[in-house]
Amino acid sequence: MFLYLSKLLPLFIYPVGLSCLLLTVALFRLWKHPGQAAVCISVALALLLVAGNGRVATRLVKSLEWQNLPLESVPQAEAIVVLGGALKPQMPPRPWFDLSEASDRILHSARLYKAGKAPLIIFSGGHIDWSGKGPQVSESEDMATLAEALNVPAEAILQDPTSLNTYENAVNVKKILQEKGINRVLLVTSAMHMPRSLKIFQKQGIEVIPAPTDFLVSERELWDLSNSPQSAVLSILPDAERVQQTTRVLKEYIGMLIYRLKGWL
């Protein structure tokens, strides 16, 4: 139930969901209380304009992503832990599993392995199946398959196929680490997801080194916003991708709050 509510309730706080809620209220108040309806419509419009603004979205993303920048020299570790959320399962009409934007996580882990930064890769991720009719293959298995296609040997791969959120990732990976006598790991996940993930793993007493990937904001994009008139003009106009980025940032900050209240970080 917690998992379902954690997915459902924030939808009414995110920009699109909250705007729709305000517009629905405005619709019911329009005839008898037009003033209240106007306020709701104005707030909904302001939310979408702000959430879709390039400067706002970029700064919000940067506030998370740049907390843990890649190290110039990645230290040695005993294992590389890769968190799920990078692949879409193989279901018709997909001929194979699909790579999402976060699939950089798998590519980065393979790169670290080939660079000799750790002798093992642990893929952590299950599959949320609300209907009970979803794929039987866990995401960790799909990630392992992709890693093997990138020439990572099967004997260098371990899996946690049951985790459905970041807290479970940390708890279940800790069990694997204890079984293998592993103390120090490189944690690979999207840069935006890293601050919350890092705190959760540290809360479990795991010695973890952040190895972020999948950055949405680069130095060049920041420079363009500040120095390019064309970019400045375009950033003012609302854009669906920026709304999505703002929503993802809110998801992370809300997740941190909920996890802190649960005592998970």
Q: How confident is the model at residue 134 (pLDDT cuts 50, 70, 90)?
A: low
**Stretch 53-79: mean pLDDT, rounded?**
96
With a cut of 80, say whether residue 6 has pLDDT above it.
no
Percentage of residues of the chain with pLDDT beyond 90: 80
Which two tokens mark 27?
Answer: 């619709």
With a cut of 70, say whether residue 131 has pLDDT above it.
no
With a cut of 70, say whether residue 36 has pLDDT above it.
yes
**Stretch 169-191: mean pLDDT, rounded?**
98
- The CATH fold assigned to 79-210 is Rossmann fold (3.40.50)
Question: What is the model's pTM?
Answer: 0.92
**Stretch 209-223: mean pLDDT, rounded?**
95
* Strand pairing class (87-88; 98-99): antiparallel
pLDDT tens for 217-250 read 999 988 888 888 888 787 888 899 999 999 999 9
Domain ranges for the chain, please list them: 2-65+217-261, 79-210
